[in-house]
Structure 1
């Protein structure tokens, strides 16, 4: 008995009546089924023609296939000897193409929950997915993530920003706070590159030391300027691995920490005077403004002034550079922008069942974010020229003129 072929007239009628092309009961699903089965039949005939031992057709087997236009029952031809291996739809394959997986990963990379992903896939393709299936698809990111975390790095990154972000992860039946260490580098071409993600129980100088050691082992031998937050002991950790690196403490972190100790009634006036320090045009003007700040507020807020004094060598690094270099290094805004993207992905999640569930989501977000990192940062040629003047012996060998 001859099977009915795809009914074009019926399909056009359904289309005029507003029936969907794809998804559940999609118009194109029977056509995809017909074409797939015809192609597999041709595969079997070619296989039989090339077989040396006697062999022949041996009926068909049926399985459910999830395709881009919807699910359908596919009749797969068999041979008597069992040597036929279909190439279009392999024996254990349940998806016609990897389009569904790409769509799942794309939705996952936008921060969609598994429930939302299930709904989107059902609307688009008429395919019902379980959380286990989605988890299996997203778990395919883990080997790729591991390879990315172990990849070789360039020998020099002129500017590197380092910061941490915290998440709740389930451990031994309860949720604990853990730090994700994010290292963002600027390569010799002025393009951003995320160098790594590291997870620890808490943010601390000791763990930063192991992070920096790993960067060094992966090939990063020199950093000209490292922009960091106010973590105690952080500069010492950097100096241990990269002794010639200039440290720039983040001005914004320092301001935030300072204002915690200033009474609300004095914050506006204090901030106005503090601006004269970090907005000064020269180092000398900044130091005069710091003296004035201490003279006015030192008796009331000695701990705040002492903090600025003790960190001044690393807070004031940026004053030696022109304004276009200062904008790049005086805060950790560049890496905090990455953290803002992370928060968008994770904002609907109070915690994560394990470390991998967090890391694979952040990695998916990284892949999405780095699609835009194709051009050098603003004024990079001017910045590189300045850095070449300040670090001639360390940069010249990496720059081809």
Structure 2
């Protein structure tokens, strides 16, 4: 049992003692009768927190002075109690007015509620969780005022969320594995203020699959400039963090990216995401013809080799449908050199690199979080929110799984990992195919 589980177990035991003693039943009956309110000014929970904090502060002062209140041992000690200072602290259940004890020499430094602190740690965590869930700073301020009666300035809330930036930077610069067999790259569009204008930028998320088939979010980058220069910087960063080799990079035909990959990892295979390619080519097709065009294109990307695929594409191009939708044909022709590596692999490996759905599922969740935002003030704010959102989603899923621990497998409904820590479906046969395709680069690693 972990330390956190031990603490939670002790907390549950304490609550159970209150229940067994009938104290909570009495409290709830008084709440139901309207005699007691739980939250808000003068509510039971704020008053309970006040009593606990003041008792804890008094105990800290006793420890600092070295003697109890009224103890003769304190006479002539050189320091003594000196009344208290009023202080209002914002908590998860509303504002709490505290009487913070003082000592005559002014050397007492409380740890429970430090000097200068105007919030409890739980409130900071609540604000960060609300921010990670997609609420803007203005929304969070209104929510706290409405639900808790606590009013915090926009500047205060912004500082609380900015406090995680150091953690984000540490995550973004952490050491990585030497080799990732597969890296997926995808992007979502965000609006970012750039000077006096708001413009669309692409926030790119890279997910790497390690040798055990476990997925990891390697980093988040907001594209500051076009093409090769940006991707060269991203690849250099990954290399500096320890990535010495990549076997396959699956992405969506990003300008400058294949060249940057090949300059950093010359032996890497850059593979266009087949699903992205299908979607891009289908944009030009009317609804009534989509099924027929999709059936024709399937013969291309399921072909056993490049020669058969090329023949299938040529046959489609010369057909009535191909003549009607030349833009669909040209989409495949333009991406051909980055598509055909896919055809060299056996079905087990094709299933793994067929699509960037790994990140698309994540991006779907992230889009729901950012859709209510007008724009971000800068690139750092984008990375901060996306990182917090990913962490928040994975934490919630982990709590759901923990709550169902011990249940029969067919009775569990909690979702698995979204991306971070998720296992790649069909990895064992895919890894076998990789060892055949890249024997020298995987030798001694498996």
TM-score above 0.5: yes
Once residues 421 and 110 of structure 2 are traced to their aligned partners in structure 1, the CA distance between those partners, rounded to angstroms, is 41
8 Å CA contact retained: 1:22, 1:68: no
The alignment status of 1:39 with 2:86, answered yes or no, reads: no
Report the CA distance between 1:148 and its aligned residue: 1.2
Structure 2 counterpart of 1:191: 214
Aligned equivalent of 2:339? 315
Among 285, 306, 329, the alignment partner of 2:353 is 329
> Are 2:391 and 1:344 aligned?
no
Whether the 8 Å CA contact 1:170–1:351 is kept in 2: the answer is yes
SS of aligned partner of 1:316: helix
**Quick check: 2:127–2:157 contact (8 Å CA) kept in 1?**
yes
**TM-score when normalising by structure 2:** 0.79
Aligned match for 1:134, one of 157, 170, 188? 157
- Bigger Cα displacement from structure 2, 301-310 vs 242-251: 301-310
Q: Secondary structure at the match of 1:28?
A: helix
Q: Does 1:383 align with 2:430?
A: yes
- Please give the root-mean-square deviation of Cα atoms over the aligned residues, in Å: 2.8
- Structure 2 contact 231–256 (Cα < 8 Å) conserved: no
Contact 1:191 1:375 in 2 (8 A): yes
SS at match of 1:146: helix
The corresponding residue for 1:4 is none
Q: Once structures 1 and 2 are overlaid, which stretch shifts more, 47-56 or 319-328? A: 47-56
- SS of structure 1 residue aligned to 2:319: helix
Distance in 2 (CA, whole Å) between partners of 1:328 and 1:234 is: 21
Q: Relative to structure 1, is the Cα distance of residues 277 and 44 closer, same or farther in structure 2, using a 3 angstrom cutoff?
A: same
Residue 161 of structure 1 deviates from its aligned partner by 1.1
Listed one character per residue, the Cα deviations across residues 37-57 of structure 1 (whole Å, up to 9, x for unaligned) are 222222222322279961112
Superposed CA offset, 1:255-311 (max 9, x none): 333344557776554443222212335555423312312332666666654553453
Structure 2 CA distance for partners of 1:139 and 1:320, relative to 1, 3 Å:
same
Matching residue within 92, 99, 111 for 2:116 = 92
Q: Is the 8 A contact 1:22 1:124 kept in 2?
A: no
> What displacement does 1:154 show?
0.9
1:215, distance to aligned residue in structure 2 (A) = 0.8
8 Å CA contact 1:177–1:201 kept in 2: the answer is no
Stretch moving more, 294-303 or 329-338: 294-303
Do the aligned partners of 2:221 and 2:383 also contact (CA within 8 Å) in 1? Answer: no
Note the C-alpha offset of 1:317: 2.1
TM-score, normalised by the number of residues in structure 1: 0.87
Q: Which sits farther off after the overlay, 114-123 or 349-358?
A: 114-123
Q: How many residues align?
A: 391
